[in-house]
Every structure is written in structure tokens, then in C-alpha cells.
Amino acid sequence: MMFDLDNQLYRDYKNQVNHERKIIFLWQLIILVAFIALWEIASRMDWINPLIFSFPSEIFSILLNKFSDGTVISHLQITLFETVLSLLIGTVAGIIFAAVLWSSLRLSRIMNPFLIVLYAMPKVTFIPIIIVALGPHYVSAIAMGAIISATITTLVIYTAFREVDPNYERVLISFGANKRQVFREAVLPASLPAIFSIVKVNIGLSWVGVIVGEFLISKEGLGYLIIRGYQGFDFPLVISILVVIALCAVLMYKIAEYIEKWFIKTQAKNRL
């Protein structure tokens, strides 16, 4: 009897969660449709300059033509490759460096002011140095995105490592665990939510780094198309590329969310 009651309560909870999710999605859809409609009306009525902001219908037509002739696809493939690679490099490098700092309290205290200065500095100022060091090609754009991601990842993940309950570490040490085992069995698993969160943040940062890099050094990619649009005063093309970037960033964010949920479910099943 109690088991049936628990099942019913769980079903009610799931139904409530699904209902809330549908309401949120409906409101998101309403806001999006209202924004597009207001944009179209404002341009048609000359409330905003249509030469600069264009029309949603024109943006859709441009994207349809560009995807049909393959113009955007070739540039999108290059930028996606650069963004994903910079995301992976920056995130992994940041986690590794955070683990090194966690392993040595003295080293973390020594490096703390330098990390703060590095975080505060505008990363765009590194571009001339990166271009000279690596050359004016896609490697520099990847490096730019990786540097931005690695900096914030190091600071956030190191803080997450330090905030893990020290009782977990004491228990493992009492059983004879060394520093590496404590990190692998307690610190890293406890910090996984922070790691997944920073991955989702780094998606946007990687796009920023790569696009800014392409502004200055690339002859291919979405950043190059944006600069070409500005130079030719083709603002509808610029907005169209911005829409593509926004959609790709959202898609990558959703993929990261799906991986996070899958990983959490897998971990829960393994514990059972």
C-alpha cells in the first residue's frame, strides 16, 4: 500500500514538472514570436531604420539563399571547428591548471594575484601577440578562444575544488588515500556540477574569442563574413550571420545540457 502511494506521489511530481516545463516553453515561444513580429512591424513602419536592422523576413530569405548556395555552410564549418576545439582546449587546460593549484596551497597563493590580473585584462589585447607568435590563420583564432575559456575555468573550478567538504578528504585520508586518490574519489566528483556549469559558460566565451579572432586574422569563417558585411554596408548579412551564431550557440548549450543530464543519470545508476 505504501509502495503504491509512493509511486502515485512520484507520478504526480513528474506530471507537475512536465506541466511547468510546457508552460515555460510556451512563454519562451510567445516571447520569441512577439519579438520577431514587433521587429518586422517596426521596420515596416519605419520605427527603426530598416537599412540597418532589416526585416526578419529578409533575414530568413538571405539565410535560405546563403545555405542553398553553400556560402554560409563552408564558413560555418570552419568557425564551428575553431569554436569546439577552443572550448575543449580551454576547458581541459583550465581544469588541469585548477587541479595543480589545488594540489599545492603555496602555489595557489603565489599564483592568485597573477590569475586575478589575467582575468581582469581584456583578452583582445593578446591578439597582436598571438598573431605574431602563431601566424595570421585559424590557429590564432582557436588560441584566442582557448585563452578566454581557460582563464575563467581555472578561477571557477579552483574555487569549486576548495569548497568541497573537507570531511570527505579526511575520511579518505584516514583510510590511507594519497593526494591523487582524494582528488579522484572526492574532490573531482563533488565539483562536477561546477564543471558542467563552466562548460556551458565557456560555449559563449569560445564563440566570442573565435569570432573576434576571425575579425582580425581570418579570410574564412563567420567572423570574416561579418567584417565583409560591415565593409560593404550589408547590414542584413551581418544580422543574418549573428542569427546563425546565436542558433549554433543555443544548440551547443542544449547538447551540453543533454550530456550533463545523461552523465548524472549514469552516475546515479552506477551508485545503485
What are the residue boundaries of the structural domains of the chain, listed by start? Answer: 1-48, 55-271
DSSP 3-state of 47:
coil
pLDDT digits (tens, 9 = 90+) for 6-19: 566 667 777 787 88
pLDDT digits (tens, 9 = 90+) for 20-29: 888 998 999 9
What is the pLDDT, as a whole number, of residue 250? 92
Each residue of 242-255: pLDDT tens digit?
999 999 999 999 99
- Please give the pLDDT value at position 10: 66
Entry pTM: 0.85
Percent of the chain surpassing pLDDT 90: 29
Confidence of residue 5 (pLDDT cuts 50, 70, 90): low
Give the pLDDT confidence of 154-166 residue by residue, as tens digits: 999 999 999 888 8
Coil, strand or helix at 272:
coil
User: Of 64, 76, 69, which is closest to residue 220 (Cα–Cα)?
Assistant: 76
Whether 51 has a pLDDT exceeding 70, the answer reads yes
Q: Has residue 263 got a pLDDT over 80?
A: yes
Contact yes or no for 161/98 (Cβ under 8 A): yes
pLDDT of residue 119: 78
Average pLDDT, the chain: 85
Pick the CATH number of 55-271 from 2.40.50.100, 1.10.1060.10, 1.10.3720.10, 2.40.37.10: 1.10.3720.10
User: 222-250 burial, b for 16+ CB within 10 Å, e for fewer?
Assistant: bbbbbbebeeeebbbbbbbbeebbeebbe
Residue 2 pLDDT > 60, yes or no?
Answer: no
